[in-house]
Structure 1
C-alpha cells in the first residue's frame, strides 16, 4: 500500500515547486507559506538538467542543495525528479541521435520537451549518468524521501521512429518471433506481397500510400513503444536503487502506448497521476447527460487499477493553458476542493497541487498554480487552506482505505492499441465504456476498471457481481475460459459487438463471432453492418422497453441454444425483428450479448435487469457521485456534488459527518460543488 511506502499515517498534501524559476529571496517565504498551508511534500527538479549538469561531466548541485535546506527548515519532504524529460541543448547539439523522429523522417529539434527517443544508446548512457550522480548526491539527505522518474512518459508524443528505434524494434521482433517464418506468419505478410526475407528489411511502420500500414505490424509497434518506455524507466530506477533502498520511486502521467500496469508492477513502488478535471469542462460533448469534470473519475478509476491506492503529483489548482492554447476557465468556488476529494474518493493517499506559483516565463504562463503572478493571497489559496484543515482532521481515518465496487468495466491494452488502426471497433470502445460509466455513475453504483491482462485466475474476477467487456475483438481461448468459469460460479458478464473474432496478432479466427465466447453466450453473429451516416438509424427494444436508437454498428444474432433468451430485437432496417441482444443463464450466472455499440440509454436499460447489490443507506440525485471506501471495520461514504446548484440528499441511517463531527440523518442540502464525508454508525 502506498501509505506504507510513504510511511505516512494520514493523507498528505504538497505542491510542485521550481526553485530554478524564482529569485532566491522568494524561497524562504514560499516554503514558509507552504508549511502554513499544511503541506508535507514539495516536488522539484524534473526539468533542471542543465542546472545539475551545465556541461557534460561537470555537475553542480548547489542551487538545489540550498533550496532543499530551506525546505528542511520548514520540515517539508522533497520529491526529486530525474530531469530526463528535457535534455539540455548541449546534449541535443552534440548528440543529435538522441532526438526523436517523426514517422515521415523529420527529426524534432530542441525548443519544447519530450523531444528525445528512449532507444538511443547515447541518451540512455547520458540519462544513467545524470541519475547516477543525483542519486549518489541525494541518497543520504534526510529531506529527500523519494524520486519521480522523468515526467509524463509518452506525453506530447507517443510514437518513435529514430534510427535507434528502428534498430531496437528489429531486435525486439527477433526475440519475440525467433525466425522470419514466424514473423511473416504473425504479420500476415503474404498479403500484398510484404514477405520479409532478411531481418534487415524489418522496420517500424513507415510512410505508405494512403497511410495504410500492416495492422499486425502496427499492433506490435505499440507493444514495442510500451516496452521501450518501461525499459527507460527501469534503467533509471535500477540506478537509484543501486544507491538507496530507503527512498521510494514512482513516475507520473498515464498516456497512450504505455502499459502502466506492467510499469507499476515491474518498476515502481506506487503510481502517481496528474489530475486535471477541467479538461473535460471545455471539451464539446453533445452526448446524453455529459459527465464533464465528473468524467475524470473514470481516469482515476483506471489509475486505481494499476496497483491500488496511488498519489496525485499534479492536482489542478487553477485555470490551464499553454501560450499557444489558453483553454480552461478559472475553477469556480468549491471546485478545487471538489476535485481534491474526487481524487481522494478514488484512491489517492497523497496529493500535490500543480504548481506553487504561476510561471512568468515559458510555454506555461497560462497554466496557473495556487498563487497568481502577483503572489498575494487569493480565493484558491483560501479554498486549499480549507481542504488542508479538513484533511488534518480526517486524513488518518481515510488513509489506506480501499475503494469498494461490485461492478467493473473490463479494459486491456491489446484492443486499445489494435483499435487505433482497426476503427471498425476501436472507436466504439471509448463510447461504450463511457456509456456504462455514466450509467453506473447516475445510478450511484461504484465501479472499478479491471485490466483483464492482469487477471490470471477466476478468483481475480469473483469479487465483482458484474463485468462489462464492451468490444474485445482480440480475445483468446484462455480469456474466454476465464469468463466462462466466472459466470458459471455466479458472475454476470456483458459483451458488445465486434467481440472475440481476433487472436493476439490481430488476425481473425475462422469461426463464427464471438469466437471462443460462443459457448458461453449461446449466440453467434448471423451478419453485421456498419451503420452509414446516410441511413435511418435502426432502433432496438430491450426488455420490451421503449425503442432506443443504435449508433455505429449492428450485429444480427442467431440463438444457438434453447436456453438462450432474446431480450431485444431490431425494430426497423432490413433485419427488423431479428435478435439484437441475448441473455443466457450459464451455471449460477448470466451472460449477455448486445449486437451493437452501447449508449447511455441502452446501458441504463440493461442495468435495470442486473439487480446489482447497492447501498440503501442514501438516496442521491444524479448530480451527486458516491464513492465508498472501507478500512478494517469502518465504511466511509464520500459524496461529491458536481452541480452548480444545491442538491437534496436523504440519509436513511445514522451517519457522522467526520469533517464537522456532526451526526446526520434525514434530508440534507449539499451546496454547489460541495463534498460530504460520512461514516456509517
Structure 2
C-alpha cells in the first residue's frame, strides 16, 4: 500500500455469498438452501445479527442449540459464516425491563420496541447486557470451524443518527468536560456569549434541544455530532475488545457507512477492515435532478469512500432484487444484467468479498418487499440464474484480482467536520453536494478514476503526493494544520483545486477575522473582494474563460469576486455581465513546484471538465476509446499487474474501440478494434 498501511480485507480469492436468516425459515429448508448456494459458487453466509432473543430468550438464560445446528450444517456443506453480534435489535424483555436503553427524539419522546435501532449507545445497562451477549457468543463460537469473522451490530447509525436519551445528555457532559476541561473553555468554543447562552453549571449543558426557528447554537451542534460519533465508536469498541480477547483467530468488522460516525477512526482503532452495504437502486428514490445524472453509477463514489477506509473490503449486502419496506422506499426491480453489473462495480472498486442481500425474500415483517435472490416461492428465477453466471465467472478470475488495489491519480478531499457542519450551515453544505456531484460526472464521463480521501492533520504528506490532482470543493472549516499540509503538497508539485467559501472557519466553526479564503489566501494568491448568493428572481452572471477560445459557462447560485494578490497568479476566467463584469472568477496560482486553483463559485459539470483539461488529466488507458455510458476502473497489484474493468451502465448497447489486442478475462476471448458491449455488460481486461 502506498503511504501508511490501512486496514484491509486479506483473502486469496474473491468470495461470493449471501445473507441468510435461518430463524426465518423452517429447518427443513436449510440443507437445500445451503446445497443450492454451493451450486451457485457461493462460499460464505452472514447471519445472526438480529437474533438476540434466540441466544438469550430470557435475561441470563442463554441457548445456542438453534444456531449450532445452522452453523454445523453450513460447515457440512463447505460454507463459511460471518456472525453478527445481535445488538441492533434488543429483545422485548430488555426494553420492557430497562426502558432507559431506548433512544429518545429531540422533543423527548422515547422510540418504542417494534422496529430496529431503537436503543442508545450510552445507557450503562445496555452496554453491560450487550457486552455479556457478545462475550457468551464469542466464547461459544471462537473455535467453530465455519466461523471466520464477526460483524459488530448492524449498520451503526442507520435509520437514526441522533440520540437524546437522559443517558446521552449525561455522557455528553462527561465528553465535554474531557474535551474542554472548564466551562470557561466550553463557553469560548461555543461562542456562548452570543445571545446570552453562557453556562455557569455543567447541569445546564445538554445536547441540542428544540429551539425557536429550529436553529440551535451551531458550535454546540458540531460538537454534538462529534460526540455521537465517539459514542458509536465506544459502543463498537466495547464489543471489539471482547471479540479480540475471546476469539483472536477470527476477524472483526462492521457494515455500512452512515451519518455522524467517523468510520475511518473506528476502523483504524477497532476493526480489521470495513464492510459496506451497496444498494445502487436507491438512485431511483433519491434521483439526481441535475444535468446528465449518474444514477446507479453514483454508487462508484460511495464505494470510493469505502475504499478510503479499506483499500480492499467486503460488501455484506449487495442489492440483488427490488427494494422496499412495507411503508416506504419502493424500488424497481434490477433489469436483467444489473445485478451482475453492480457486483462487478463493487469488485472493480476494491471489494474482495460480496454477499448478496438476501438469499430469499422475507415472507413476513417490515422487509417483505425487499427482495433477495430467491422469491418467496423458492422456484428458479432470472436473479438466481444471474447469480449462477457471476459465480462461474468469479471462479475463473478471483485468484487473479483479489488483493489488487484501485488505481487513481486524482482524489476528492473530504472531512467529517465540514460534512457535519454543512448539515446545519445551509450556505456551504448544499454547495459541497452540488460540486462533488459535478466533479464525479466530469471524472466518470471522461474515464478518469477518482479516489475519496478524508483529510486530517495527522495525515502524512506522502498520502497526498501519490495524487497528481486534489479537489477540495468547499472546505469551510480549514485549520492551520490542514492548510500547511496542503501548502506543502503544492510546493512539492501537486495541483489543488478549491471552490467558493473555502477556509473561513476554525475547528469550532468560528469565522476567522481574516480576508477570505483565510488560511489558504497565500496558497491561492487571491482574496475575496465581494460575494453574493443569487436570489430566486436574479440571474446568475455568466463566466467566460480568458484564454484562446471564447468558452462561456453559466455560473451557479453563489459567486465570489476574486482579487489577485500575487504576481504568480493568472486569471483564467472572469464574470461576463452584471456588476461583477470583468472581475476574476477563476484564478490559477503558481506556488513552489505546483499550482493552486480557486474558483469563486459552485462547480458545474462544464467548469469541472474545463479544469480537467487545464490540469491535463486524461483517462489512464490510452489504447481504449470509450463512450460516456461506460465506466473505466483499474485495479493494480504491487508488482504492476493491472486489470481494467469496463462497466456499461446503459440499457442500450455501447461501442468501444481497442487499438491493441487484449484478453477479456470473463470469456477468455482476445479482442481488438470495434466491439459492442451489451446493455449492463462488463469486460475485464488484463
* Corresponding residue of 2:283: 280
Specify the alignment match of 1:654 in structure 2.
Answer: 661
Of the three residues 313, 334, 338, the one matched with 1:331 is: 334
> Residues 34 and 182 of structure 1: is their aligned pair in 2 closer, same or farther, counting only changes over 3 Å?
same
User: Superposed, which structure 2 residues align to 1:251-290 within 5 Å?
Assistant: 251-290=254-293
Give SS of 1:351's match.
strand
* Residues 467 and 543 of structure 1, relative CA distance in 2, 3 Å threshold: farther
User: d(CA) in 1 for partners of 2:286 and 2:623?
Assistant: 35
Q: Aligned to 2:518, which of 498, 515, 520?
A: 515
* Match in the other structure for 2:193: 190
State the TM-score, normalizing by the size of structure 2.
Answer: 0.97
Residue 82 of structure 1 deviates from its aligned partner by 0.4
- 1:121 shift after superposition: 0.4
Deviations 1:355-398, CA, capped at 9 Å, x for gaps: 00000000000000000011011101111110110000001000
Asked whether the equivalents of residues 540 and 557 of structure 2 are also in contact (C-alpha less than 8 Å), the reply is: no
**For residue 663 of structure 1, what is the aligned residue in structure 2?**
670
Q: 1:3 to 1:492 in 2, by over 3 A?
A: closer
**Which structure 2 residues correspond to residues 318-467 of structure 1 after superposition, within 5 A?**
318-325=321-328, 327-453=330-456, 456-467=459-470
Greater CA deviation, 401-410 or 564-573? 564-573
Tell me whether 1:594 sits opposite 2:594 in the alignment.
Answer: no
> In the alignment, which residue of structure 2 is the partner of 1:176?
179
CA distance in 1, matches of 2:339, 2:204: 53
Choose the corresponding residue for 2:621, options 605, 612, 615: 615
Distance 1:373 1:539 in 2: 56
Given that residues 80 and 147 in structure 1 are in contact (C-alpha distance below 8 angstroms), is that contact kept between their aligned partners in structure 2? yes
> Do residues 531 (structure 1) and 534 (structure 2) align?
yes
In the alignment, is residue 585 of structure 1 matched against residue 590 of structure 2?
yes
2:244 matched to 1:237?
no
- Give the counterpart of 1:214 among 208, 213, 217: 217
1:422 Cα deviation after fit: 1.0
Partner secondary structure for residue 321 of structure 1: coil
1:75 is aligned to: 78
Q: Which residue of 2 aligns with 1:562?
A: 567
Give the TM-score normalised by structure 1.
Answer: 0.98
Deviation for aligned residue 1:7: 6.0
The corresponding residue for 1:86 is 89
Contact 2:447 / 2:631 at 8 angstroms: preserved in 1?
yes
Residue 548, structure 1, aligned to residue 553, structure 2: yes
Q: Post-superposition shift, 1:514?
A: 0.5
CA distance in 1, matches of 2:9, 2:351: 12
Asked if 2 retains the 8 angstrom alpha-carbon contact of 1:265 and 1:307, the reply is: no
Paired residues, what number?
679
RMSD after superposition = 1.4
Distance change (3 Å), C-alpha of 1:4 and 1:169: closer
Structure 2, gaps ≥5 residues long: none
Moved more, 311-320 or 536-545: 536-545
Q: State how far apart, in whole Å, the 2-side matches of 1:6 and 1:468 are.
A: 28
Query: Would the alpha carbon gap of residues 286 and 166 (structure 1) be closer, same or farther in structure 2, given more than 3 Å must change?
Result: same
| Structure-2 separation of matches of 1:511 and 1:174 | 30
Q: Which runs of 5+ in 1 are unaligned?
A: none
Query: How big is the shift at 1:328?
Result: 0.7
1:64 is matched with which residue? 67
Give the match's secondary structure for 1:126.
Answer: helix
Change (3 A) 1:217 1:206: same
Q: Secondary structure at the match of 1:155?
A: coil
Q: Is the 8 A contact 1:314 1:351 kept in 2?
A: yes
Shift of 1:665: 1.8
User: Counterpart of 1:629?
Assistant: 635
Q: Distance in 1 between matches of 2:21 and 2:568?
A: 65
- How far is the alpha carbon of 1:5 from its aligned partner? 7.5
1:301 to 299, 304, 318: 304
Summarize deviations over 1:179-205 as a string: whole Å, max 9, x none: 111111111001001111111111101
Decide whether the 8 Å contact of 1:3 with 1:399 is kept in 2: no
Deviations 1:556-601 (A, max 9, x none): 1100112211111111222111111100111111110000001111
CA distance in 2, matches of 1:360, 1:203: 43
Residue 633 of structure 1 deviates from its aligned partner by 2.7
The residue aligned with 1:161 is 164
3-state SS of paired residue (1:574) = helix
Does 2:645 correspond to 1:638? Answer: yes
Q: Distance in 1 between matches of 2:502 and 2:369?
A: 44
Shift of 1:8: 3.1
Task: List per-residue Cα deviations over 1:400-432 (Å, max 9, x = no partner).
Answer: 001000000000000000111111111111111
Equivalent of 2:41, from 38, 43, 49?
A: 38
Q: Secondary structure of 1:526's match?
A: strand
Q: Note if 1:48 corresponds to 2:54.
A: no
> Structure 2 CA distance, aligned partners of 1:454 and 1:149?
28
The verdict on how the C-alpha distance between 1:7 and 1:459 changes in structure 2, with shifts beyond 3 A counting, is closer
CA deviations over 1:504-546 (Å, ceiling 9, x no partner): 0000100001111011110010111111111112211134543
Cα deviation for residue 660 of structure 1 reads: 1.5
